[in-house]
Chain A
Amino acid sequence: MELLTIFIGAVLVNNFVLARFLGICPFLGQSKNVSMAVGMGMSVIFVMTLASAATILIYGSVLVPLGLEYLVTVTFILVIAALVQLVDIVLQKALPALHRTMGIYLVLITTNCAILGLALLNVVKNYDFTKSLIFGLSAGIGFTLALVIMAGIRERLELADVPKPLRGFPITLVLAGLMSIAFMGFSGLVKL
């Protein structure tokens, strides 16, 4: 039951992009068309789930026993960077077809603040391994949901007559604001 709460909370109520402001850069940059958004989203779901599990394991089994909690930022960013590299190499050898579609997005993921943010939130919220895994998966799904919706809207926006100074990022941000209002409708769905 609690896992379901975490899932709904991360996908809809406290959506990573629209309520927590994590991963705004790829949200603005990679949402120009739907196929790109789906590719990016899939890579993020995959890496987020892995990173969430890996960082919480390292935090619990290395940092806490050694009393090195203050090194959490340095450790997590290195673990995430190494993990992304590893996924990149494994994917290239094992599933070259998938690597061709996902590869370009993987490079961008290391500096995606949603991944590090997720790892830090796991620690702040005191989640155990299972909860972190679910939280990572659902945060990724929430990110993908927001990204794909935005890409869908922006594809239509191509045909709209937007005032010149607002074209590009500004109108995307205003749109994100409207989406955020819509997502606020989900608040109260679960008690956090």
Chain B
Amino acid sequence: MSLWQEFNKGIIKENPLFRLVLGTCPTLAVTTKAINGVAMGFAVIFVLLGSNIVVSLIRKVTPAKVRIPVFVVVIASFVTIVDLFMAGFFFELHKVMGIFIPLIVVNCIILARAEAFASKYSVMGSVFDALGMGVGYMLALIVVGSIRETLGNGTIFGFDLLSRLGYQNFLIMLLPPGAFVVLGLLMGLMNKLTKQTMES
């Protein structure tokens, strides 16, 4: 598989959010604004990239039996870096995201990629896998965030969009129920467009 394919598969075909249904908790929690999706996306890309590289580098010296705890410590270290970095430079965003930054540790995307990909493939492949998955996740977050922000607040990325047209804000979109419904319907739309189903 070429590097481009490694990158590409994460965007639509194996989109971590819409297709693999990984990382739903932070998605639902932070997407009240589109900009939060960008921030969360970058945080996840950084952690994913870092942990994929390190896991791929140490894959030959890690004993199979303790590999999961080793991966978790690697991931947790990168998450701590992101957490402290955001607390230092983007304090407002860090406050909005709250515990969902440290919770990137248990975001299934990261451990799933470390276990399913980086522990088996070379560093280069793992880098592109991480980038593809990360960008796919970030795009999904931005889509959900944009819809909720537009409908719930009449703005997008903070720009006034609907409210000057006399739009009545649909407040429930910013509340927890809106998150569930928007994500559910978007997932359904993705299935419709790609002609797939998620029946188990």
Contacts and interface: CB of A to CB of B under 8 A. Distances in A.
B84 A111 contact: no
A73 to B, nearest CB: 4
Contacts of B103: 22, 113, 116-117, 120
A21 B102 contact: no
Given A77-B76, A167-B199, A113 B172 contact: no
Interface in B79-100: 79-80, 83-84, 98-99
Contacts of A191: none
Contacts of B58: none
B187 interface: yes
Interface string A13-57: 000001111111100100010000000000000000000000000
Nearest to A114: B25
Given A22-B25, A165-B188, A74 B76 contact: yes
Interface string A63-87: 0000000111110011001000000
A18 B197 contact: no
B179 A120 contact: no
B80 A171 contact: no
- Interface residues of chain A: helix, strand, loop or mixed (majority): helix
Contacts, number: 129
A20 B30 CA distance: 11
A178 B178 CA distance: 9
A168 B181 CA distance: 14
B25 A173 contact: no
Contact of B21 (A28, A32, A77): A28
Interface stretch (B8-16, B105-113, B119-127, B131-139): B105-113
Nearest to B79: A73
B105 A171 contact: no
A28 B177 CA distance: 15
B117 to A, nearest CB: 17
A60 interface: no
17 contacts: A21-B176, A24-B28, A25-B22, A25-B24, A71-B80, A73-B76, A73-B83, A113-B106, A164-B191, A170-B185, A170-B198, A171-B184, A173-B183, A178-B181, A180-B176, A181-B172, A184-B175
Interface of B: 21-22, 24-26, 28-29, 69, 72-73, 76-77, 79-80, 83-84, 98-99, 102-103, 105-108, 111, 172, 175-181, 183-185, 187-189, 191-192, 197-200
Interface of A: 18-25, 28, 32, 70-74, 77-78, 81, 111-113, 116-117, 120-121, 124, 163-178, 180-181, 184
